[in-house]
Each structure stands twice: as structure tokens, then as C-alpha cells.
Chains A and B, each alone.
Chain A
Amino acid sequence: AQSVTQPDIHITVSEGASLELRCNYSYGATPYLFWYVQSPGQGLQLLLKYFSGDTLVQGIKGFEAEFKRSQSSFNLRKPSVHWSDAAEYFCAVGSARQLTFGSGTQLTVLP
């Protein structure tokens, strides 16, 4: 069975600082990996995805993620955080049948 672990429930960073959100997955085959962002009371917006190829994936809003098969990780990064990045972030692993989400990481950005 596929599963996703996001070890950090809540992260606080200062505006302009760098950010890394951790994601570890368990999947029996080649994983299809996603990062989504959710603002309060809103649906999910896709930040980026990894299907194959280059292990460093660029997404929207200046985010990137690196797939590391040896570590079963797909960490999300941003070099300089903006106050508007404050939100909930979900990592997900996908199959043809469904997406399985991690528990999410709440990001707070300090001015």
C-alpha cells in the first residue's frame, strides 16, 4: 500500500528566508509524486509534480522539489519565502487508482 509521511506538522520561517518541507513516501513501484498548497477554506492547487526524468522539478510560485529514490523523499524547497506563501502544504503519491496524501505541513511566515 502506498503512504506518505510529512514529519513536520508546523513550520515557521521569516519572510525572505529559505524553506524546505519534508516528504517521505512508500510505494511499490515508480512513484508519481505531487505537492499541493491549500489556503484556508480553499481547494488544492498543484505546485509541482514528478513523473519521471530530471529529479529536480520546478513548479509554480518559485517552488522546486527534488526526488531522491534512495531516501524515498520528495522535499519541497523555496529559496526565499514570501508572506503569501503561508498556507497548508500537502505531499501526495499517486497511482492510476488514487492519490494518497500526507498529513500536511502548516507554514507560518513571520514578517
Chain B
Amino acid sequence: GAVVSQHPSWVICKSGTSVKIECRSLDFQATTMFWYRQFPKQSLMLMATSNEGSKATYEQGVEKDKFLINHASLTLSTLTVTSAHPEDSSFYICSARPERGSYEQYFGPGTRLTVT
């Protein structure tokens, strides 16, 4: 149980285009989903927290107009990287929390984004 999927697993796009990444909780309902960014050889940095049906909360320094997050249902959150640039190339990981107040998060397998 507690499986989280991400799609796509890797994507290459041209500079200036937008890319959407999906995060799904497959066997549970996620009240909260998180989006992380990980640069090579580095740790995970929280980008934003999204609660179903409400606006995402972005961490300091994360451009909310560039990284659009939608948590449309209890099993799906999407991250759209708008007008992508090479510096947006990174590994994006989502996680899902099954209930409010829980301290556990279940992680997706990640999406490798390369912007050329």
C-alpha cells in the first residue's frame, strides 16, 4: 500500500516551453501533497505544499508563477513548469500525506526534467 506514481519519469523540452508533471496517490487519498526539487548530489528541497482544493503554499524563493501547482483531487497533483529554461533542469519528486496531522509522507519515483 501507499504507492505514489509520477508521470512522466523523464522529459526533455525546449527552452521557453511548458512541462506538466503528474503525481498520483494510487491506493490512498492524499489530503496534502508536496513537491521537491533535487539537484545532482544534493538533498531534497521543498518547493511547495498543496492541499486538495486550495492554493499551494510555496517556500521562500520559489516562483509561484513559474511553478504552477494544482491539487485538483485527493489523488492527483500536478506541477507545471512554465517557460522552462535550462536552469530549471532538475529531478522533481512529489510526495503525498494520507491524512492531516500525519507525519509520514510517501514519495513518488521522481521526474527528470532536462531543458535544452
Q: Could you list which residues of chain A lie within 8 angstroms of chain B, going by C-beta atoms? A: 32, 36, 41-46, 49, 51, 90, 94-99, 101-104, 106
Which of A41, A45, A99 has the most chain B CB within a 10 Å cutoff?
A99
Q: Which of B49, B104, B109 contacts A98 (CB 8 A)?
A: B49
Binding site for A on B (CB under 8 A): 4, 6, 34, 41-44, 46, 49, 91, 93, 95, 100-110, 112
**How far does the Cβ of B97 sit from chain A's closest Cβ, in whole Å?**
9
Q: Give A104 to B42 CA distance when docked, in angstroms.
A: 7
Instruction: Tell me which residues across on chain A come within 8 A of B101, comparing CB atoms.
Output: 96
Q: Pick the contact of A43: B102, B103, B104, B109 (CB < 8 A).
A: B109
Smallest CB separation, A105 vs chain B (Å):
11
Q: A41 near B46 (CB under 8 angstroms)?
A: no
Interface pair B112/A41, CB less than 8 Å apart: yes
A43 B43 Cβ-Cβ under 8 A: no
Q: Are A90 and B108 closer than 8 Å at their CB atoms? A: no
Which 7 interchain pairs have the tightest Cβ spacing? A43-B109, A44-B107, A32-B103, A94-B103, A43-B107, A101-B43, A43-B110
Q: A42 touching B110 by the CB < 8 A rule?
A: yes
- Cα-based distance from A98 to B103 in the complex (angstroms): 8
Besides A41-B112, A43-B108, 14 new A-B residue pairs in contact (Cβ under 8 A), listed by A number: A36-B107, A41-B91, A42-B109, A43-B4, A43-B93, A43-B109, A44-B107, A46-B106, A90-B43, A94-B103, A96-B102, A97-B49, A99-B95, A104-B42
- Contact in complex: B103, A90 (CB < 8 Å): no
* Most chain A Cβ neighbours within 10 Å, of B49, B91, B93, B103: B103
Q: Could you tell me the distance between the alpha carbons of A43 and B23 in the complex, rounded to whole angstroms?
A: 12
Question: A45 CA to B95 CA in the complex, in Å?
Answer: 11
